[in-house]
Chains A and B, each alone.
Chain A
Amino acid sequence: MSEHTLTSPAGIATGAVSPPLRQVSRGQLASIVVDSALLAKRSLMRVPRQPDWLFGATIQPVMFILLFRYVFAGAIPIPGTSSVDYIMSGIIVQGLVFGSINTAVGLSEDIKKGLMDRFRSLPMPRSSILLGRILADLMLQVFVTAISIGVALAVGFRPNANPAEWLGAIGLMALMAFTLSWIGAIIGLTLRSTEAVTSIGLVWIFPLTFASSAFVMPQTMPGWLEAFAKNQPVTLIIDAVRGLWTGYYPQASSHTALYAVIWLVAVCIVAIPTAIWAYERRMAN
């Protein structure tokens, strides 16, 4: 990294009094990191300024936790484990899946408001525009999930994980949030209206989270749905996170976490280039 003084042509120049402006030159990789961080910071700055947004983003998972804890947990017996522990694991992961909508809506609004054009006319790596947004959303997800976990613990969620298992569970959830952000990005970059982004951005989430092992055991579902629910990635992730937290693995596989990671990496391999393609396509018009 090196600094140099900006040669300022006449005019809008800063005048003789002030010292010259200093510009930094960085390599491509350093630019991607620094500019992504700058844009992530910009996205995060809105959080304290829109307390209603933060309240909305936090209250929904908390509400789900409370409702499922007190309304459903008693009615859904889970053989071999406490139904509170079973459901709480599911609901925390479910909240993260829903969070992917943030990326979709955020990108859609930046395009609509012309900010995307300004960013793209600046001498910064264009990959930072997507990365910065996804980084910021990931941090928000961590924050909201921390609150969810706290509330779950307060209402009787009792994980028995050691620090390494906690780390594993958090790592897996972070990888999932990152992966789903790219799917959110594809939705936000493909659909033109924010309303469509909001509805389509949510609609794929319902079957994946409800037809999963989040709240009930897939064995209780009709055969065709059970087959789907047992094998789809959200179930694998929930089972893995729940296994790490509580030691309960319904499908008797200690490799659940590994399968979950493979799934997520595979989705990333497809979703990231697709998001970049969707971005280029959207910007070309």
Chain B
Amino acid sequence: MAQRNAVIVEGLTKSFGKTRALEGIDFTVGEGSVVGLLGPNGAGKTTTVRILTTLIKPDGGRAEVAGIDVLKHPEQVRARIGLTGQYAAVDEILTGRENLIMFGQLYRLTHASAKRRADELLERFELTDAANRTVKTYSGGMRRRLDLAASLLVTPPVLFLDEPTTGLDPRSRNGMWEVIGDLIKDGTTVLLTTQYLEEADQLANRIVVIDRGKVIAQGTANELKNQVGGERLEITVPHGTDLERAESALINTAGQAALDEGGVQIDPVNWRLTVPFPAGAKGLPVAVRQLDEAGVTLADLALRRPTLDDVFLTLTGHAAEEGNGNGLKEDSEKAA
């Protein structure tokens, strides 16, 4: 046994009324590792985290966190976890420092220790200047950092980050990634949920892809990419190009592979089209000529390894960032 598991999930099921949020989820998180739970809205990510953090009870299955059975000893689990939710759960009316001291005391720190720890964390997350302002005045990124700090007051062995960057602007998101990256370097075990493939790729050692309450794939980012097969041909066309025409030209060029592996992905905002392209570099000259003959003008053309977006599309037949209607309420309503 190479390493102990900090989180064990076996056959978890959960329904909300008629909505089946989880249909039997299994995965593990090794001690000191970071696992990204990746899936679209409503896939069951938040439900899984809420079960593991003892906020709700599953209908079936079992789970262990830090070696403790979540259903049998929830109160012991709570002493060993930190949770940072999708919506910054800090008190707006209190200052940053007051929030951390209060949560520290609720984690049973003495007042003096809670105070000292609060100051350390404020410093670490660059909130010292804002420490005595009410949270109401904080930006989204500052709130998330404070929320994260609140889950680190007693250095929990297992940290749950439920969509830590949802709703943040790109700059704050990068800031959060840096902060989380540092935590990970320190050896904290993290279970992270995200609907951003880029985020899972960036932060997680292993990725568990879930969709409609089931695990549909897991492995390292590389393993998942390999599972989807070969390289992708990505073209960018000038604004105003007939995308349908470009699409059919691409299918012609890529051949059967395009249809077998998810077809052409179209990004109409960036005028970009992507298709599985097993022929690789050798096939490029032919591709360029065929596209030219089909009358498709190219602004850019590139060959690249599959991204997690491609993985998701191949595994589920739909893109990761669109909801799937099934159990959709669960994630979006959770904050209510």
Binding site for B on A (CB under 8 A): 3, 6, 8-14, 18, 21-26, 35, 38, 42, 45-46, 49-50, 111-115, 117-124, 192, 283-285
Contacts and interface: CB of A to CB of B under 8 A. Distances in A.
Contacts of A24: 108-110
A42 B186 contact: no
Nearest to B56: A284
A279 to B, nearest CB: 13
A141 B87 CA distance: 31
Contacts of B209: none
A8 B155 contact: yes
Contact of A14 (B75, B102, B117): B117
Interface in B82-127: 83, 85-94, 98, 102-103, 105-110, 112-113, 116-117, 120
Contact of B83 (A11, A25, A111, A118): A118
B60 interface: no
Contact of B188 (A11, A50, A121, A283): A11
B216 interface: no
Name the interface size band of chain B. Answer: 35 or more
Nearest to A8: B155
B335 A114 contact: yes
Contact of B187 (A3, A9, A25, A42): A9
Classify the secondary structure of B's interface with A: loop
Given A10-B187, A119-B106, A21 B154 contact: yes
B221 to A, nearest CB: 23
Given A11-B188, A18-B120, A115 B89 contact: yes
B74 to A, nearest CB: 10
A113 B83 contact: no
Contacts of B87: 113-114
Nearest to B112: A22
B308 interface: no
Contact of B155 (A13, A46, A117, A122): A13
Given A10-B186, A21-B117, A285-B16, A123 B53 contact: no
B265 to A, nearest CB: 35
Contact of A45 (B75, B83, B98, B108): B98
Contact of A121 (B55, B90, B157): B55
Chain A CB within 10 A, most for which of B56, B105, B152: B105
Interface string B53-65: 1111100000000
Contact of B85 (A21, A46, A117, A283): A117
B294 interface: no
B305 interface: no
B81 interface: yes
B276 to A, nearest CB: 41
Nearest to A28: B75
A13 B187 CA distance: 11
| Nearest 9 Cβ contacts at the A-B interface | A11-B186, A114-B89, A118-B89, A123-B79, A46-B93, A21-B113, A114-B87, A121-B83, A123-B78
Contacts of B113: 6, 21-23
B150 to A, nearest CB: 7
B110 A3 contact: yes
Given A26-B108, A113-B92, A118 B120 contact: no
A121 B107 contact: no
Contacts of B102: 38, 42
A112 B335 contact: yes
